[in-house]
Structure 1
Amino acid sequence: MVDSLTLQPVALVNGTVNLPGSKSVSNRALLLAAVAQGTTRLTNLLDSDDVRHMLNALQALGVSYQLSADRTECTVTGVAGPLQAAQPLELFLGNAGTAMRPLAAALCLGAGDVVLTGEPRMKERPIGHLVDALRQGGAQIDYLEQTDYPPVRLRGGFRGGDVTVDGSVSSQFLTALLMTAPLAQQDTHIHIKGELVSKPYIDITLHLMKTFGVDVSHDDYRVFHIAGGQTYRSPGDYLVEGDASSASYFLAAAAIKGGTVRVTGIGRNSVQGDTKFADVLEKMGAHITWADDYIECRRGVLKGIDMDMNHIPDAAMTIATAALFADGPTTIRNIYNWRVKETDRLAAMATELRKVGATVDEGEDYIHVVPPAKLQFAEIGTYNDHRMAMCFSLGGAVGYPGDHSRSEMHRENLPRLFRTAGEHQPIGVIPVKAPFGAFRLLIKPVIRESVAMGS
């Protein structure tokens, strides 16, 4: 792994970006294809750490699949029922929340003894609300190190019935229960405690379940009703949508230094809530055009905003860095779940924005950013978190210099982000000289003490 990567600041961002597949859709589709009846061919699959961990886990559980050389097409032969472990098994899932939470639920259906574990940060990411709900349905689950956190041992037992899950920390808990419930013996009724975060991600889950032949009813997202004893059925071919949260970086670059940028693979009919990021840019002053299969952004005079972004928490991070280029302060509200992601993103974002000169107020569930009169040179830490890396790389690419440390940041949602920028393909840029030279990415991990979030 190289020690540094240089991004030249640009005067103009112009072009078309063909988006890689969505991580959220990729891993949901893989798991449903694995438990479905029939063979499913997934195209535009994302090649990232989360997806690789899911694929490795499915293979260890006896699921057969064929993967193309570029890892973007996968043909999965479903097992037509719950996943089974023929012998005691330990699955290492890295820091992949989109694998850990759904597999934790799915493996409570079949027989076997399976341990799910991961990287140190995964052991700090709460899973207690999901475990509590699964236990209400009969699941046998043990914590192996710290209560409410991975690693966990799963020994089946989930039957369904009435369960309650806290929806205020992560929508992945509800997603895991929803995808598992149709294969349970009994009907399942999932009651939501607290405010449900990231509802658009639940809509992705419901859309995927319907694609695989299962309908779910709900009472305004407060109670979900799922019939038991069902079988998922393969749709045959399934095209994974482009990753809408990754589109945010290119759209924001256009809003700041466009030119015009078009992102393809998503559009007005996308199942991903993160496409609403374009609406936020429009409120800030960018010019947005929608079509069925693309979103286009042109530069505008950006102004600060004050918004609840609970519905687009991942893409909202890009707004926090775009706020550096807006006229006036920006406040992003109702984003507590930033704190239980790959790092405590609220604390990390506040720390790094201050380094470039912004005045920042970090609250328990909000961030208030006042842009500086002039951006400062800084060393930017990325906390082994791909979204921190990509958000601040946006700043480097569109015109402020700094040393940007990171660890494995290229392995997640947009693996070819920097290669694409370096090759000027498919998006074109015009380099300019910055006051302090190029924007340099130092490839070194930044470790910060993290606060464990309880249930």
Structure 2
Amino acid sequence: MDMIVTPTGRLQGELQALSSKNYTTRYLLAAALAEGTSTILYPAHSEDGEAMRRCIRDLGAVVEEDAEKIVIRGFGRHPKPVKELNVGNAGAVLRFILSIAALLPEEVTFVNAYPQSLGKRPHDDLIVALQSMGVEIEHNGGKLPITLKGGKPRGGKIRVSGSVSSQFLSSLLFLTPLLDEDSEIEVLHDLKSKVVIGQTLEVLRQAGIVVEASDDLMHYRVPGKQQYRAQTYTVQGDYPGSAAVLAAAAVTDSDVKLHRLMEDSKQGERAVVDVLRAMNVPLTHENGTVHVRGNGRMTAGEFDGDEFTDGVLAMVAASVFAEGTSRFYNVENLRYKECDRITDYLAELRKAGANVEEKRDEIIVHGRPEGVEGGVEIDAHFDHRVIMALTVVGLRAAKPIRIRDAHHVAKSYPQYFDHLKALGANVEWVQEEK
């Protein structure tokens, strides 16, 4: 399905923020790794969450759910043998489950269901780390399909690169407490998205797992023979998805409130509130509610994008209409997502009329407060974050834009367009042209 986004002058209303996808996937995995029954309250409903639920079911977890909760009876350190696992287009789910599948005694293959998206993403760094732990793996140049031959992973001294993604480290942090040996994990080179590792460590602590982390998050000591504790988890509101709604409110005349966004959240994308504030967007953040009274006027700034990776595209969209030149630096890891979120995204912004340029690890936006022309069809590149961010631009364009394959927004935020429509946005689904 395609989405027609028509320029919209005003947004107004209140929304309950989407539940956090990142926390939901981590809680699902922690619950599956426990022996006993856990409950997850207010889980996110997204394609990523569906992929994680499907995989843990295939591995032997019993999963029951209703509108408000998911109840899981876990498999502990003994997942059920399975021939194939399908993670859909969910990179984090692939990487997390890849380590857990190393516990299987028999061969398992991760299939390539999205060759044009996840199928192009590299996973070499995690594969190399698992191979060093005695796991035999066949792969396609670090990409799907990936087959684990079965065996018993060993703890000990483990090295993993963090220069492409922090998800490789998170994956090992979920696995190593279950091993017989103690483990020491050293992160090589750089560590992208350190704030997301904070979320992983928080979930592990809640699950009763002990991990000693250095202050710089580059070294870890993980005692072996630990057990995940079955318990109840409550999922907080999601900043990455909310970033696009906040950006939409910022670029329009608006009076918008988003609830369930904790001020002290460990989600790095919480920083988008500070970014918008630095761009002189009128807003307050109190008692878990962000209140934006947008007037469409913003000023440019310079921001370290590694602090709010999944909010960068939405903030770039807002800066398209800011006075001056904005710079988002330290964002190279955006190139290794569902698409190249620098080159591919900026190509679509240019089609809409934005003045943007790229460097290897930077996005530079020369703002156009007068707005952009629009009136074009643009490619979503099967990427939910690209879809949400391009919608923000369409709300402020002179002419409507058509976003192809916009249904892929469901990967993280199925209700995104419903929520925007509830605020008054002029958005309409149309069938793809054959």
Residue in structure 2 matching 1:326, options 317, 322, 328: 322
8 A Cα contact 1:161 1:188, kept in partner: yes
Task: Give matches, 1:35-434, under 5 Å.
Answer: 35-68=33-66, 70=67, 72-85=68-81, 88-118=82-112, 119-120=114-115, 121-143=117-139, 146-154=140-148, 155-219=150-214, 220-235=216-231, 237-299=232-294, 301-372=297-368, 373-377=370-374, 378-400=376-398, 401-422=400-421, 424=422, 428-429=423-424
8 A Cα contact 2:4 2:402, kept in partner: no
Note closer, same or farther for the CA distance 1:258–1:179 as it changes in structure 2 (3 Å cut).
farther
Alpha-carbon shift at residue 379 of structure 1 (Å): 1.7
In 2: Cα distance, 1:174 partner to 1:397 partner: 38
Note closer, same or farther for the CA distance 1:317–1:350 as it changes in structure 2 (3 Å cut).
same
Backbone CA RMSD of aligned residues: 2.0
In 1: Cα distance, 2:293 partner to 2:170 partner: 35
8 A Cα contact 2:251 2:321, kept in partner: yes
In 1: Cα distance, 2:49 partner to 2:152 partner: 27
My pick for the range that moved more, 370-379 or 158-167, is 370-379
Alpha-carbon shift at residue 217 of structure 1 (Å): 1.3
Q: Which structure 2 residue ranges, 5 or more long, are not aligned?
A: none
In 2: Cα distance, 1:256 partner to 1:332 partner: 18
Deviations 1:307-356 (CA, angstroms, capped at 9, x unpaired): 22112111011111111110011111111111111111111111011112
What is the letter of the counterpart of residue 277 of structure 2? Answer: E
Alpha-carbon shift at residue 272 of structure 1 (Å): 1.1
In 2: Cα distance, 1:298 partner to 1:103 partner: 42
The secondary structure found in structure 1 opposite 2:25 is helix
8 A Cα contact 1:50 1:99, kept in partner: yes
In 2: Cα distance, 1:195 partner to 1:344 partner: 20
The secondary structure found in structure 1 opposite 2:299 is coil
Q: Which structure 1 residue ranges, 5 or more long, are not aligned?
A: 432-437, 447-455
| Residue 19 (structure 1) aligns with | 17
What is the letter of the counterpart of residue 196 of structure 1? Answer: L
In 1: Cα distance, 2:431 partner to 2:166 partner: 31
Alpha-carbon shift at residue 294 of structure 1 (Å): 2.4
In 2: Cα distance, 1:392 partner to 1:445 partner: 19
The secondary structure found in structure 1 opposite 2:103 is coil
8 A Cα contact 1:404 1:440, kept in partner: no
Alpha-carbon shift at residue 216 of structure 1 (Å): 1.4
8 A Cα contact 1:402 1:439, kept in partner: no
Alpha-carbon shift at residue 57 of structure 1 (Å): 1.3
TM (normalized to structure 1)?
A: 0.89
Alpha-carbon shift at residue 107 of structure 1 (Å): 1.2
Note closer, same or farther for the CA distance 1:442–1:368 as it changes in structure 2 (3 Å cut).
farther
Deviations 1:1-41 (CA, angstroms, capped at 9, x unpaired): xx544444322222221122211111111011001132111
In 2: Cα distance, 1:319 partner to 1:288 partner: 15
What is the letter of the counterpart of residue 215 of structure 1? Answer: V
The secondary structure found in structure 1 opposite 2:307 is coil
Note closer, same or farther for the CA distance 1:98–1:161 as it changes in structure 2 (3 Å cut).
same
The secondary structure found in structure 2 opposite 1:403 is strand
The secondary structure found in structure 1 opposite 2:320 is helix
In 1: Cα distance, 2:285 partner to 2:62 partner: 39
8 A Cα contact 1:131 1:141, kept in partner: yes
Alpha-carbon shift at residue 139 of structure 1 (Å): 1.7
In 1: Cα distance, 2:358 partner to 2:336 partner: 15
What is the letter of the counterpart of residue 9 of structure 2? Answer: A
TM (normalized to structure 2)?
A: 0.93
Alpha-carbon shift at residue 442 of structure 1 (Å): 5.7
Deviations 1:242-267 (CA, angstroms, capped at 9, x unpaired): 21101111211222224332211222
8 A Cα contact 1:187 1:228, kept in partner: yes
Alpha-carbon shift at residue 100 of structure 1 (Å): 0.2
